Structures are given as C-alpha cells and as structure tokens.
Amino acid sequence: MRPQTYVAIDTGALGHNLRIVRTRMAERVRLMAVIKANGYGHDLLLAGRTFAEAGADWLGVSSVDEGVRLREAGLDLPVLVFLPALDDEVEALVEHRLTGTVTACDAILAHVRAADKLKLAADIHIYMDTGLGRLGSDDSLPDLLAVAEPYAQINVTGVYTHFGSEKSGAMLENVDILRPGASAKAFGTLAREAVARAGAGRVNVHCAASRLFLQCPEAHMDMVRIGTLLYGQVPPEAAKDTIKLKPTFELRSHIVAIHTLPPGSPVGYGGEFVTRKDTRIATMPVGLAHGLGMEPASLARNLKFAAAEYVRRFQARRGRVKYGPWARIGSQTVPIVGRISMDQCCLDVTDADAQVGDEVALDTRRVGINPDIPRIAVPL
C-alpha cells in the first residue's frame, strides 16, 4: 500500500531527459548530472543511480556529506563537490575519492595533509570567480596551480567557473550581448593558457550549466554540468528552446474528507477564501510541513510577486480563483483554496468528480518538499 502522501518520481523520464541532453553534445564532451539539494527534491540516491545507469559521466553535489552518501550506496562515478570542504571535512573527501572544489591556496595544503595521512591521492577542481561574486578567494588561478604543482599527491583534474543569468555578472557581460558566448570563450582561453604555463597537463575545463548549455554550444568545452534540464524544466531565460523534456516529479496525496459549504463561508485560517455559492470542499493531509505553499523569502520583497499575491487574495475573498495554486484529480484541474496550514489544505471540487480516497497531484516547488516524504519510482 502506498503512503497517504508521497512524491512520485518517473525514473524513465529522468533517463529520457539525460539522453535528450546528450543529443545536443559533441561525443567528446562529458556530462555531469547535478544531483545537489537531494537530487532537486527527487532523492539523492534515486537520482544518482538513475543518471548513472542512463550514461552520466560525472555526478555533481553540494557537500561532502552528499558525496559520502553516494559512495556508501555503491555509486562509483567521479563526483565533484561544488562547495569547498572545511578543514575537518577534507579527510572524508579524500578517503571517499571525491573531487573537491578549491578556491584558495590554503585549501590545497589541507588536501595535501589529508592525502599524506591517508596515503591516497587527492583530486581537485579549481574554481574561478568570473563575475558572479558568489564563491572565490583573493588567490588567482596561476597562484593555485603553482601551489599544487610540487605535490605529486594532488591531482588538478579540472578548472571551472559558473555564469549566472543576465545581470548576475560575467567577464564580458556587455560584450556578450553583441557576441554571444564571449565570456565563456574568454574564460576557456584564460584557463587553458594558465594550465599550459603551469605544466598541469590535461584538465577538464567547464563553465556551462543548463542555461548556458542551451544558449551557447561554444561553452560546452570539456564538460557540461546539467541540473534543471534533467528534471524536466527549462530555465526561464531559455524558455523559447524546443528541447523535448518529460516531467519527472509529482507531490501526491489523497482526499480524506469532503463537505459542502453555503455561500459566504470562510475556508481556512484568516478567511482568505470565502465561498460565493454552495461549494464542495475537499481536505487533504498535506501542508506547510510537507513543503506545500513554501516560497523563498526573497519573493516577498519582489514587487511583481507581491502585487500578484494581493490580487490573488482580493479575488479569493470573493470566491474567485484565477491564479492558483492548482491541483489535479485524474485529468481534472481544481484550485487549492484558503490558506495552506501546517498539515492540511483544501480544494474546491464543486465542478469535479471527486470522492474521499481519490489521489491528487499538487502543484509545488520541488526542492522545498520535505525530504522525509517517501519518494516512489512510478510513471507519471
């Protein structure tokens, strides 16, 4: 018997999306499947195994802990840890054959100490800040390569950067408008020249995540880091692209009660939705604790979002729902009405063929879904 509330993961769709991405790549280019943030909410191990079986060359995670979990589960692909390891994490990183991200010379020496203690080699990728301003140090790429060069136990196997969306900062952002890919080409040239001067040998130079992968084939270089595309979503900046992806994720629950309210009845805390006619209300045992209705705090400060939320609530108090959020019962789309509470939410099923016990798919943000909710591999 399936749980009352669970997340349905279509592993066939995950594999399909990876293979579709492959069709846009040159054969020599490696594909890193990014499975950070619990596999974008899909479950770290389920996503990791699925992408490994579908032909990923690398896996990408945020933390040493995520990487260790992959190794303990028997996954043997190369794994890049995006966030620099703290000193007390470096031994675990080296012991489990994870590739660490390094931005500072001191960090290289920490890897040297761990490698010496464990009598193992330590693989690292050097990260360069090229304008995003999110991760970096005051040490340059030549500085980092020079510090690593004397130590045979340190293998510099990659140099990489990350370009954000428009206005996030890039090496040649204004030039990119006239010459798409100028920043990526400049980074590639600088990285390869620095590596050649240092005599570091063959390394993976990479900069393209999902958005840049679609918009700039010249940025594919030696490897691409693909996250959101594998999970069936196209970055907003590349919305016009015709890549044929499949949906991979649904939060599902079941109706536990249905009753009819007369006109003028409030639904949920604060009376944010008020019925304007006889209305059938269905209740489900899923709410904020599960991640339903959770939005980033930054959205509350976004004027466009705040205005849309005001209009949505204004209409809801008059019994009208235009902007959702939505749920689906079979092929029927119904609105979620009233304020979502900790462990419950309500649907307006007046015009739907809905019964107690029916399964419902909910519209929600993936990475906000509670990781303790079971993930079950089923076709969508």
Helix axes 64-72, 44-54, angle to 10 degrees: 70
List the beta bridge partners of residue 102.
Answer: 126
Q: Is this structure's pTM higher than 0.85?
A: yes
The answer to whether the Cα torsion of 287, 289, 290, 292 is positive or negative is positive
Strands 79-81, 99-102: pairing is parallel
**376 and 6 in contact (C-beta within 8 Å)?**
yes
Q: What are 72-93's pLDDT values in tens digits?
A: 999 999 999 999 999 999 999 9
pLDDT for position 172: 56
pLDDT score of 129 more than 70: yes
pLDDT for position 199: 85
Q: What are 37-54's pLDDT values in tens digits?
A: 999 999 999 999 999 999
pLDDT score of 347 more than 60: yes
**373 and 5 in contact (C-beta within 8 Å)?**
yes
Of 188, 168, 177, 171, nearest to 215 by C-alpha is 177
180 CB neighbour count, 10 Å cutoff: 14
**How sure is the predictor about 239, in pLDDT bands with cuts at 50, 70 and 90?**
confident
Token reading at 274 = 């008020």
Q: What are 157-206's pLDDT values in tens digits?
A: 999 999 877 766 665 555 555 566 788 888 999 999 999 999 888 899 99
3-state secondary structure (DSSP) of residue 128: coil
DSSP classification of residue 80: E
List the alpha helices (DSSP H) in the chain: 11-22, 36-40, 44-54, 64-72, 90-95, 105-118, 141-148, 173-178, 182-198, 210-215, 303-316
pLDDT for position 161: 95
Domains assigned to the chain: 10-231 (3.20.20.10), 256-357 (2.40.37.10)
**How sure is the predictor about 301, in pLDDT bands with cuts at 50, 70 and 90?**
low
Of 117, 125, 66, nearest to 95 by C-alpha is 117
